[in-house]
Amino acid sequence: MARPQYKTPSALTFHSQAFTIFWSSFSVISASTNLYAVIGDPVAHSLSPVMQNWFIEQFHLNAVYTAFRVKGAKLQMCINGMRAMGIKGLNVTVPHKEAIRSFVDEQSEEVRVLGAANTLKNQAGVISAYVTDPYGFIESLGENRARFRGASVLLYGAGGAAKSVSYALSRLGVDQLLISDLVSQKAIELAERAQKLYGLKNASALVKGFAPMKEIIKHTHIVINATAVGMFPLEDKSVVDNYDVVGTKHFFYDLVYNPAQTKFLRLAEERGAATQNGLDMLIYQGLESLRIWTGQDLSLLPSQLNELKKLMRNQLGVHE
C-alpha cells in the first residue's frame, strides 16, 4: 500500500465559515503543548478560537485553542475528559454557563454570586470555575471608567449579560441602578439580586408607575444595552425610542458589537453623547481567561488591541 503524501505543515490551512488560520507554527505542537477550547451548543459561530489563538501567538505560548460542540447531557463526560486528557482550560458558552457549575470542584466568589461560569481551569485534575465577564466590562471602559463613580445608570436587560454588568457596576461605585426589561418580573428579580448579593443598595426595577422613560433618561448619566436588540435581525431597532433629552453629559454603552455601531449608539452619538460598543469587553474577558489558565500577567498594548479588533471585525464581516 502506497504511503500517503502530506503537505508540509507550514502549508496547511484550516478553513471554516468564520476564519482561516495558517498553521505556520504547526511543527512546534508536541505532547507538551497545552490545549484550551470553548464548549457550547452551538459553537461554530464562536470567535474565541480566532481571539485566543491570536493571544497565544502574541504572547509566544506553547498552546493551541479549538472549539468543541458539547450537548448538555454530555457535560459530566466533558469534564471527565478534561481531567483524563489534561486539557488545561475551557471557556463555556451558551447554553451551559449555569449548568456547568454542577460538575466542577471549586467555584470563584463571582461564580457563586452570579450563578454562572464561563471559564474552567484544570490544575492537577481539580476543575475550578470562574466568570470573566464583569472584569471584561470594567477593563473595556478605559478612561470612561471615571464616568461611573457616583453616576445614575439605566440598564436595559435582565438576563445573564445584565447580571454580569450589574455586578461590575457595583464594583465601579455607581450611585443608582435602574433596570428595564420587557418582562418586569425579571427586572424586579435582578434589582433585588443587585441589592442583596452585589451590594448595590440603590437598585430598582422600572415597572408600571415609574416616570416616563424620557424623564428617566434626562436624569441619567449612563445608558447600557444588555439585550440582543440591535443585532441581526433587529439592526433597525433600539431599546431607546426617544433621544430628545440625550446630550453631551450622557454615555451610551452597547454590549452588541456586530454591527459596530447600532442604532442605539448612532442616534445617541448624533445627539452628542459619548458611545462605545461591546467588542473591547469581549476581548478583555477572553484575555482574563488566558491569564487564569496560564497564571501570567498578560496585557495588551494599544497597538495590539487595535490589531485584534480589526482582525475580529474582518472575521465577523462587521460594517462600521
Which one of the listed residues 97, 121, 163, 263 is annotated catalytic?
Answer: 97
- CA distances to 190, 193, 281 from 114, rounded to whole Å, are 11, 9, 18
97: annotated active-site residue:
yes
Task: Show Cβ contacts of residue 273 under 8 Å, excluding neighbours closer than 6 positions.
Answer: 246, 247, 248, 249, 250, 251, 252
Give dist(CA 106, CA 25) in Å, integer: 35
Q: How many other C-beta atoms are found inside a 10 Å radius of the C-beta of residue 15?
A: 8
Q: State the Cα angle at 242 between 238 and 247, rounded to 5°.
A: 100
The letter for the amino acid at 26 is F
Q: What residues act catalytically?
A: 97
